[in-house]
Structure 1
Amino acid sequence: MTLLALPGYAQLSEADEAALTELYRRGTPANTLRAWERDLAYVAAWKMAAFGQPLAWPEAEKVALRFILDHAQDLTDRPGPAQDVALELIAIGLRNALACPAPATLDRRIASWKAFHRMRNLASPFTSPLVQQARQKARRANARPRVPKSPKPVTRDILEALLSTCDDSNRGIRDRAMLMLAFASGGRRRSEVAGLNAEDIGRDDFKARGLLWIRLLETKTTRKDQAPRLPLKGRAARAVVHWLEVTGISQGPLFRPVSKGDRPLPRRLAPDALRTILRHRLRLAGLPEDFATPHGLRAGFLTQAALDGAPLAAAMKLSLHRSAVQAQKYYADVEISENPATDLLGD
């Protein structure tokens, strides 16, 4: 099911509907579009199973309320209509279990449903006081301890252990450059690293200052018209330039697959390639493959910034976090005995 399968926009011609749909496609990050389509498939299947009807635009308040109630409890030992619907969704592969979904999952599906209403300039039933209150109570009733996206942050010492496994083969040179860029440029997401092109690496200041400028055309928090330029200095900059020089890459994908014969291939790495590379390097460093995920590089950058006493605002300029509250969580995770503020008087 795709966004094109949605019912028609209110008071729009077929041509205008098609144009607006295409505009949303071009103006929305690919990851967001994929999440919308998954959520659309889920809510459409849920309503058909619960009410025997397709989605309506605007949706009825009673449907929104039922959706929240059905997803606000563990249905394992609760036979009834809600469990029957859940079992049907499990049978078609849209739900994993009868356990209560995480509040974040419910929030994301509701946010997607609301977005579909905004596309049609329609009021969402999730804005009604009764539904909002039910959603708030469900979130509090099913609150869970925060689970980090990576079991461990990849701080400087861990990163050094990973870099020590990178030899002078093309694969080793590539992995060294990828890991250092991902960490030192602010903890880049794996899709951001894989999406870089050679043209996105500005080298004008490299000879004089050892400085590269990285242009991120699109991130989770910025658009193409807001493409940030981020500095990359020192060893990390030299590692990226070394990769470019030994491979002769001047345009197209920056990081590419390397063949068994150690030859860079002319295509882009998969968006999830950094996960595979990180697991490989963790194993070579004598650490468990599940020690950290690619998000550990992002968490590690902010954690290391906290350990080194870098101001939160300075770290956020590189990490591109919009929310100080979100970024502050990494600072709060630093063991208090390691907080630089404990050494103000010295030994």
Structure 2
Amino acid sequence: MTHLAIPPTLSPVDEEALRDLYRRGTPKNTLRAWERDLAYITAWKIASFNRALVWPEEETVALRFILDHAQDLQAHSGPARDAAEELIALGLRRSLAAPAPATLDRRIASWQAFHRMRNLPSPFSAPLVQQARQKSRRANARPPAPKSAKPITRDVLEALLGTCDDTHRGVRDRALLMLAFGSGGRRRSELTALNVEDISRDEFASRGLLWVRLLETKTTKQDQAPKLPLKGRPARAVIHWLEIAKLEKGPLFRPVSKSDRPLPRRMAPDAVRVILRHRLGLAGLPMDYASPHGLRAGFLTQAALDGAPLAAAMKLSLHRSPIQAQKYYADVEISENPATDLLGE
């Protein structure tokens, strides 16, 4: 993360306390995004101006950043394309095409945050720069790309579960997929962050119910850690994994060795994508049929298909905005709209 500009009146102890506060008070995903964006912005400035970043940055540099990223450079030559090709060579940019407006907005938001950390004005607040940014959004507007090609609804999930055998790997994958879907469509980072201690079994013997504690999600902090119910087959699948792997503490979902032995370390978030692609292939589906987000989209889509109220589904999915969750319901509702069948079968 970029360094804070500390007021000179602070003592060394207070300086370190302020830095620590920023680290602890900022979500890990945001810190990672800031690191990536700072690397990109720094490399772009050097490639474009042969100069390092300055604080506060000049308005002309901010305007040039927008202009360079508001055009498709494949059919152009010049300094903007030269800088883009350097970034591609460094692995910081994918292509010469104009990035999505959301990508540009995120990088600008990070740059603005770096200025706030230094208690400095942002060049992106200048009227001309703001107007150029608005025009760039409109000029490069595009339909939002889905996070998963298709939702993993109940029928697809059952096909995936059918490929899970009784090995440690099969039992783990069954538990992971069922917990992800059954607890509201969990994100990869939420699944791999779970510990055995986050699974409460107090009511399993009497009611077949587990409580899953999510210490930190995209929309909640540790002091808001929600507890979500997990029951029926998903709960039994998790208990089976705990028992067969003899897990008492530490990471809930772990790598399994080639000799089918659960390892003590935590599974990386990207491992969920690898597991899903593997199970899709075994089920006879294309490996790119869905991404891990398909489990989240599939939960809401299935809830809509089964007639579950949106508010009830959101209590499990933990969506903050009804607008975001409603789109899954809207897709189902419009397909069932009588007006789509006016000409009959």
Instruction: Output the TM-score relative to the length of structure 1.
Output: 0.91
Residue 260 of structure 2: aligned partner: 262
**What amino acid is the match of 2:243?**
E
Report how far residue 40 of structure 1 moved: 0.3
Aligned ranges for residues 26-175 of structure 1 at < 5 Å?
Answer: 26-175=24-173
Determine whether 1:221 maps to 2:219. Answer: yes
Instruction: Output the CA distance in 1 between the equivalents of 2:191 and 2:11.
Output: 39
Q: Is the 8 A contact 1:47 1:55 kept in 2?
A: yes
Give 1:90 deviation, angstroms: 2.5
Gaps of 5+ in 2: 341-345
Q: 2:191: which partner in 1?
A: 193
AA aligned opposite 2:287: E
The SS at the match of 1:259 is coil
Q: Which residue, out of 192, 200, 204, partners 2:202?
A: 204
- Look up the equivalent residue of 1:176 and give its one-letter code: R
Bigger shift: 134-143 or 57-66? 57-66
What letter is aligned with 1:284? L
| Matching of residue 20 in structure 1 with residue 18 in structure 2 | yes
Name the amino acid aligned to 2:141.
A
Deviates more, 1:40-49 or 1:191-200: 40-49
Identity in percent: 76
- Mapped partners of 1:254, 1:10: distance in 2: 44
Q: Are 1:194 and 1:271, in contact at CA under 8 Å, matched by a contact in 2?
A: yes
Cα deviation, residue 7, structure 1: 7.0
Aligned to 1:318: 316
Is the CA contact (8 Å cut-off) linking 1:83 and 1:98 kept in structure 2? yes
How far apart in 2 are the matches of 1:82 and 1:269? 40
Partner residue in 2 for 1:233:
231
Kept in 2, the 8 Å contact 1:309–1:340? The answer is no
C-alpha deviation, 1:83, in angstroms: 2.0
Distance 1:153 1:132, change over 3 A: same
Q: Structure 2 length normalisation: TM-score?
A: 0.92
Query: How has the CA–CA distance of structure 1 residues 257 and 159 changed in structure 2, closer, same or farther, with 3 Å as cutoff?
Result: same
Q: Provide the C-alpha distance between the structure 2 equivalents of 1:7 and 1:156, rounded to a whole number of angstroms.
A: 48
Q: 1:177 to 1:239 in 2, by over 3 A?
A: same
| Equivalences, count | 339
Question: What amino acid is aligned across from residue 300 of structure 2 in structure 1?
Answer: L
Q: How far 1:332 sits from its partner (Å)? A: 2.4
Contact persistence 2:5–2:117 (CA under 8 A): no
